[in-house]
């Protein structure tokens, strides 16, 4: 549907055309940047794969008598070929967009997010985050919340007992609303009466 609800229309009218234009251009630039990073990652993988095939053909005759030895040169190259450097570029790109989104808010307000909100705001079950594993940040989903956190990574692997400092929230939780549909960053508008009652009781006991 192409219809726009009244609240969305009022929100759109609250900002100038220049702001919307700048936002579209900045997000488009972000998309191109991420596309380039993923392209480079896959091209590097293809190049590495072709190189391995060539090496295998060149050493095939040696394997007839004994297994081909892994040369120090190849070991060094293979150890350097990891996706970590590409994920670091993706993280840097996302951080640049996040920093851009906060520009122009130097005046501050009561609702302004803290500088390090990604690492300090509460996370809940099902939140999309980036989790630190081995010094690199990888996309993950929160699967358990407590004193520590469990996550499932984008590739299906999981990790348990992570400290909050090792989790980077990708988007800030929605602000609480006067009508009570958003409470402590949780959208309650789709909850049944039973679910809402259980949720409110849990919030009261926290």
Q: CATH 2.30.30.140: does it fit domain 116-173?
A: yes
% of the chain with per-residue pLDDT over 70: 63
Residue 155 scores a pLDDT above 90: no
Instruction: Look at residue 70 in the predicted model and tell me its pLDDT.
Output: 60
Is pLDDT above 90 for 149?
A: yes
CA-CA distances (angstroms) from residue 18 to 7, 12, 28, 40? 21, 12, 15, 33
Would you state the pLDDT for residue 201?
75
* Structure-model confidence comparison of residues 45 and 73, the more confident one: 45
> Per-residue pLDDT tens for 89-142?
888 888 888 877 776 543 344 456 677 888 888 888 888 899 998 888 899 999
pLDDT at 153 over 80: yes
Span of 9-13, 19-23, 57-61, 111-115 with lowest mean pLDDT? 9-13
- pLDDT at residue 107 in the model: 39
Query: Hey, what are 4's tokens?
Result: 């726009």
């Amino acid at each position: 549907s192409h219809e726009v609800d009244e609240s969305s229309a009022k929100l759109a009218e609250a900002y100038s055309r220049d702001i919307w234009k700048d936002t579209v251009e900045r997000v488009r630039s972000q998309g191109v940047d991420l596309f380039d990073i993923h392209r480079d990652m896959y091209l590097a993988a293809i190049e590495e794969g072709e190189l391995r095939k060539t090496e295998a053909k060149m050493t095939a005759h040696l394997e007839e008598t004994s297994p081909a030895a892994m040369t120090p040169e190849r070991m060094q190259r293979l150890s350097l070929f990891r996706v970590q450097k590409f994920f670091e570029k993706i993280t840097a790109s996302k951080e640049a967009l996040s920093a851009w989104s906060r520009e122009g808010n130097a005046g501050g307000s009561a609702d302004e997010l803290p500088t390090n909100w990604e690492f300090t705001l509460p996370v809940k079950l099902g939140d999309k985050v980036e989790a630190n594993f081995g010094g690199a940040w990888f996309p993950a989903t929160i699967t358990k919340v407590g004193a520590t956190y469990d996550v499932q990574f984008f590739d299906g692997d999981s990790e348990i007992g992570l400290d909050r400092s090792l989790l980077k929230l990708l988007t800030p939780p929605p602000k609480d609303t006067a009508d009570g549909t958003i409470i402590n960053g949780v959208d309650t508008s789709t909850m049944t009466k039973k679910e809402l009652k259980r949720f409110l009781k849990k919030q009261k006991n926290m």
